[in-house]
Amino acid sequence: MELQFLGTGAGMPSKERNTSSLALKLYEERGTLWLFDCGEATQHQILHTTIKPRKIEKLFITHLHGDHIFGLPGLLSSRSFLGGEEPAPLTLYGPKGLMKWIQFTLELTKTHLNYPIHFVEIEEGVIFEDEHFIVTAKELEHVIPCFGFRIEQKPLPGELYIDKALELGIPKGPLLGKLKSGEDVELEDGTIVRSKDVTGPPKKGFVVAILGDTIYCKQSVELSRDADIVVHEATFDHATAKLAKDYGHSTNVDAAKVAKEANAKYLILNHISSRFLPRDLENLLKEAKKVFPHVFVAKDFSSYQWKNGQLIDLSAKNL
């Protein structure tokens, strides 16, 4: 799993940061990616990455403020005109009103899509579940309805003890794969080899909390409980805490408090106000680390890989 930030600014674009959008790359897990929010010029940001819009399987919108949705009509339209294979169906999750806005925009502009969109106007609770993932939404505390999401990967198959399987007569090939995936298999002589006898215990999947705009609230903590990664807005800093509260936003210290109370492993600060210049980022980081030690400040195009229980900053690795 990999997170790539396409826009990390707040309110409006700046020279340093575009408006909100985040890609959750699940290429190894399901061969697709999920997009969270789609601020103005998100498709332009995508042009500077290896992301293929036709691979976007699901798109989650936290709330209907323009810096989180104004890039959506353009991206949906362009997805129809890309070369190569026909775009797959797209599921669009968001607050009530999103479907009406998109359908009206497409109709008014006579925009035809060559793929279907399935709209899910979300309420609190589980909004998606299959055999591999479960996504839960909770309403946060902002100036308009705004949601946060908890993405949980279900337990993965345990390690396959190949030597033990071979000793029991399992030939090399597809039967080994079935055992690893949890299936029992039957040999030609009728012997049943049980998966649990040749595999280790299931491995814990990852948990990511991606939160929309909000003041500090208990819902953020609940979504982030024991999460591996929390992506939390930090529009303001400790010195501008009053402004944060007045405008329904959080500070870097608020975000750190959420991560600490939730017993999360890592925190990524996002949605940074343009009032903070590159030289200010070190102070944003230091303030947050006084409360919670494992913190990153996202920048546009930053990439973070989750591997073997560790969060790796790929951007720093490439410097």
- Chain segment 99-154, per-residue pLDDT in tens: 999 999 999 999 999 999 999 999 999 999 999 999 999 999 999 999 999 999 99
Per-residue pLDDT, 318: 40
What global pTM score does this model have?
Answer: 0.90
Per-residue pLDDT, 173: 84
pLDDT digits (tens, 9 = 90+) for 34-43: 999 999 999 9
Average pLDDT of 161-165?
85
Query: Was 142 annotated as part of a binding site?
Result: yes
Per-residue pLDDT, 39: 97
Average pLDDT of 10-32?
95
pLDDT digits (tens, 9 = 90+) for 182-231: 888 888 888 898 888 888 888 899 999 999 999 999 999 999 999 999 99
Average pLDDT of 143-170?
90
Average pLDDT, the chain: 93
Q: Residue 213 is encoded by which pair of tokens?
A: 């705009």
Query: Was 112 annotated as part of a binding site?
Result: no
Average pLDDT of 71-78?
96
Query: Was 249 annotated as part of a binding site?
Result: no
Query: Was 118 annotated as part of a binding site?
Result: no
Question: CB–CB of 39/62 below 8 Å?
Answer: no
Distances (CA, A) of 311 to 180, 197, 269, 307: 26, 32, 14, 7
Per-residue pLDDT, 161: 86
Per-residue pLDDT, 83: 63
Whether 160 has a pLDDT exceeding 50, the answer reads yes
**Domains of the chain, with CATH numbers?**
2-156+203-317 (3.60.15.10), 162-198 (no CATH)
Confidence of residue 84 (pLDDT cuts 50, 70, 90): low
Return the higher-pLDDT residue of 319 and 103.
103
Whether 156 has a pLDDT exceeding 50, the answer reads yes
Please say if 228 is a catalytic residue. Answer: no
| Burial (CB count <10 Å: 0-12, 13-18, 19+), residue 55 | middle
Catalytic residue among 37, 67, 254, 300: 67
Whether 275 has a pLDDT exceeding 80, the answer reads yes
Question: CB–CB of 305/289 below 8 Å?
Answer: no
Neighbours of 196 (CB within 10 A): 11
Please tell me what DSSP assigns to residue 226.
T
Per-residue pLDDT, 211: 98
pLDDT digits (tens, 9 = 90+) for 197-206: 888 888 899 9
Question: CB–CB of 84/55 below 8 Å?
Answer: no
Query: Was 197 annotated as part of a binding site?
Result: no
Query: Was 37 annotated as part of a binding site?
Result: no
